[in-house]
Homo-oligomer: A and B are copies of this chain.
Amino acid sequence: MRNIKLTICYLGTNYHGFQVQSNGITICEAVQDAIERVLGKRYDVKGCSRTDAGVHANRYCLNFRAETEMPLWSIKKALNAVLPDDIAVRCAEDVPEDFHARYCCKGKRYVYKIWNSDAKNPFLQGLAYHYFRTIDVVQAQAVCNLFVGTHDFAAFCGGKNTQENTVRTITACGICRSGDLVEFYVEGDGFLYNMVRILVGTVIAVSENRLNLQDIPRIMEQGVRRVECKTMSACGLYLDEVFYE
């Protein structure tokens, strides 16, 4: 029995996230369907994380155990041929028997894209969040710096969070501008439900003077979600990389 790891990228617009759900097609089902077409049998797929409906991925990792002699390059090629246009396999690898895409994951990086202009951009529909007011990236970077480190992020997760331990370590967080496109990135050992989208919402709240920089450490300490820290739209969010040992 082989244990095969796939690194995939996808446009999440037309999917109800990764994890199989009853209310719509998911990335996981699309991948399982493709594997079944290529290998002739339906295998269970383990994803590195649930991602929300509409969220994209540049590099999402998953693994499945399968009995096949097919070489990796051929698996990759065949899967790409049968997968829909909005999902692609970037890499197929043989991994040790005990590798599990979720449990072995040591960290992740997310990117949030903002089209920061008063001009509509038909070409970034569903690929970036459209935000009109100019973001001061120097000020925004100061907010990002406050997220770095080991903190209790209870105030920065959605109501549906099921994790009891809300302490996470953020190893890097920043924001950069390239013309009218602003990219927020955050790297850490793990993320709570909706956490990245709420961290971006917090950056925006400071940018709009609805919160001060000084409020952030206090909010973090209090551990209570604030209405100012909105959950940003899924369409700007990309799972950018998944780290393993």
* Chain A interface (Cβ < 8 Å from any Cβ of B): 9-11, 56, 80, 83, 85-90, 119-123, 125, 127
Q: Is the CB of B90 within 8 A of A122?
A: no
> How far apart sit A10 and B123, CA to CA, in the bound complex (Å)?
8
> How far apart sit A127 and B86, CA to CA, in the bound complex (Å)?
12
A89: chain B residues at CB < 8 Å are 120
A119: chain B residues at CB < 8 Å are 88, 90
| Copies of the protein in its oligomer | 2
A11: chain B residues at CB < 8 Å are 122-123, 125
Q: Is the CB of B88 within 8 A of A125?
A: no
Q: Is the CB of A125 within 8 A of B86?
A: yes
> How far apart sit A90 and B123, CA to CA, in the bound complex (Å)?
13
> How far apart sit A125 and B127, CA to CA, in the bound complex (Å)?
12
A87: chain B residues at CB < 8 Å are 122
> How far apart sit A80 and B119, CA to CA, in the bound complex (Å)?
9
> How far apart sit A110 and B17, CA to CA, in the bound complex (Å)?
37
Q: Is the CB of A123 within 8 A of B56?
A: yes
A80: chain B residues at CB < 8 Å are 120
> How far apart sit A155 and B116, CA to CA, in the bound complex (Å)?
45
A88: chain B residues at CB < 8 Å are 119-122
Q: Is the CB of A85 within 8 A of B122?
A: yes
A127: chain B residues at CB < 8 Å are 123
Shortest distance from the beta carbon of A5 to any chain B beta carbon, whole Å: 17
Shortest distance from the beta carbon of A2 to any chain B beta carbon, whole Å: 23
Q: Closest residue to A11 on the B side, CB-wise?
A: B122
A90: chain B residues at CB < 8 Å are 119
Shortest distance from the beta carbon of A110 to any chain B beta carbon, whole Å: 16
Q: Closest residue to A87 on the B side, CB-wise?
A: B122
Closest CB pairs A-B (n = 8): A88-B120, A11-B122, A86-B122, A85-B125, A80-B120, A10-B122, A88-B122, A9-B122
